[in-house]
Amino acid sequence: MPTDNAPHAPLPDAPYTRHLDVDGVAMVRLLGPQDRLLTTLEREHPGVDVHVRGNQITLQGERPAVEQAATLVEELIRMVRNGTDLGEVEVQSSARILRDGSGSPADVLSQAILTSRGKSIRPKTLGQKAYVDAIDQHTIVFGIGPAGTGKTYLAMAKAVQALTRKEVDRIILTRPAVEAGERLGFLPGTLTDKIDPYLRPLYDALNEMMDPELVPKLLASGVVEVAPLAYMRGRTLNNSFVVLDEAQNTTPEQMKMFLTRLGFGSTMVVTGDITQVDLPGGASGLSLVTRVLDGIDDIHFARLTSDDVVRHNLVGRIVDAYTKYDAERQKAEYERAERRRSGGGNGDARGAQGVNRAARRAATRDRLPGRSRRGTQRW
């Protein structure tokens, strides 16, 4: 823990100052290359001036803001000592956890799922932590959220962890073979060659989490299976960890077919983003299942948001911008529909008024001299 040099009583107009001495931690691990994380810390606490000299961090500002910033620094130091590699996402998530009063960031974000090639895979946000915990506690978990929230990556990490611990006998990774809004035409090669491009992201994640030399052997023996969703029909998946990726591109019938493959001793994780449906008809099985299965025991829906995006910070802002645009578009469509409904009633009234005016004109014409009711001239 850092040594806290308690400050002397400040003068009435002097800013509150607190010094934190950081011992046993390389400052580059705490502040990042070129002190990039220091900038993130200042952005999270704009009312606090942060100065670093050697292994001492000085915080100045109003006392409540300084104390909050000091708590964040202390939590970051604990995380580094626990072996966490800090990045901008970890600093932002830690600040958010402290603001929400959701516990200690060092306790929440330092629990690694598995370690591969010296790299630890762990949840980086509070939403991701809740998602990972739900996988441990439920048989079927739906991970729903925008791109970059780690839905599939964390699910596959849990699958590899379960296989390593011998909690399951095999891993099955599947996704629908749907093109993302463009027609690729006929692809050359065998059936495997044709479907491999759709499954490539799953292979990439596998090679990142496991020994690349071991992966082909596991695939050949069937311990790890990567297959398109169409291959799941007629099967019962026992003692397996099953991950369905890009589930927003399943039809309602495909989603029902997949979920009913569940066998004894198995866990299913279904991931997708209901705002990125590539189906021609647009009827997504993932969107429907959130209404059909909501409230059933042992089924959990984990909803991730832009706060859980762990890619470039621009991705979170892009997600928020599209979410705002979609909300405004839905509001505009609703208002147009309301105006059409109310306009239909006025149209009926206007139609009745038009009939009355035509009747009055006909009556006036009949009363004109020199014309009969049939409009013929009188002699």
- Hey, where are the domains in the chain? 3-109, 114-311, 322-379
What is the mean pLDDT of the segment spanning 342-353? 54
CATH number of 3-109: 3.30.1370.10
Is the pLDDT score of 32 beyond 50?
yes
Task: Determine how many CB atoms are found less than 10 A away from the CB of residue 259.
Answer: 18
**Tell me, what's the pLDDT at 340?**
84
The answer to whether the beta carbons of residues 371 and 378 sit under 8 Å apart is yes
State how far the alpha carbon of 201 is from the alpha carbons of 48, 174, 195, 197, in Å.
43, 11, 12, 8
User: What confidence tier does 184 reach under pLDDT thresholds 50, 70, 90?
Assistant: very low
- Two structure tokens written together for 378: 């009188």
323: Cβ contacts below 8 Å, ≥ 6 apart: 146, 275, 306
Is the pLDDT score of 157 beyond 80?
yes
Q: Which amino acid is at 159?
A: A
Q: Matching CATH topology for 3-109 and 114-311?
A: no
Calculate the CA dihedral of residues 132, 134, 139, 145 and round it to 10 degrees. -70
**Tell me, what's the pLDDT at 166?**
95
Instruction: Report pLDDT digits (tens) over 75-134.
Output: 999 888 888 888 888 888 899 889 888 788 888 888 889 887 778 888 988 899 999 999
- Two structure tokens written together for 97: 């956890």
**Tell me, what's the pLDDT at 66?**
92
Question: Which residues pair with residue 175 across a beta bridge?
Answer: 228
For 188, what's the count of Cα atoms within 13 Å in the CB-facing half-sphere?
0
Calculate the CA dihedral of residues 114, 119, 124, 129 and round it to 10 degrees. 0
Cα 132 versus chain centre, distance? 13
Average pLDDT of the residues of the chain:
82
- Concatenating the DSSP letter of every residue in 198-219 gives HHHHHHHHHHHHS-TTHHHHHH
**Tell me, what's the pLDDT at 116?**
78
For the question of whether the overall pTM of this predicted structure is more than 0.85, the answer is no
The answer to whether the beta carbons of residues 8 and 2 sit under 8 Å apart is no
Note the CATH architecture for domain 114-311. 3-Layer(aba) Sandwich (3.40)
Residue 273 DSSP class: -
The answer to whether the beta carbons of residues 337 and 177 sit under 8 Å apart is no
How much is the CA Rg of the chain, to the nearest whole Å? Answer: 31
Q: CA 377, CA 370: separation in Å to the nearest integer?
A: 6
Helices (H) and strands (E) in the chain, counts: 12, 12
Q: CA 68, CA 64: separation in Å to the nearest integer?
A: 6
The answer to whether the beta carbons of residues 247 and 151 sit under 8 Å apart is no
Residue 124 DSSP class: -
Q: Is the dihedral of CA 183, 185, 187, 192 positive or negative?
A: positive
Q: CA 159, CA 174: separation in Å to the nearest integer?
A: 13
**Tell me, what's the pLDDT at 171?**
96
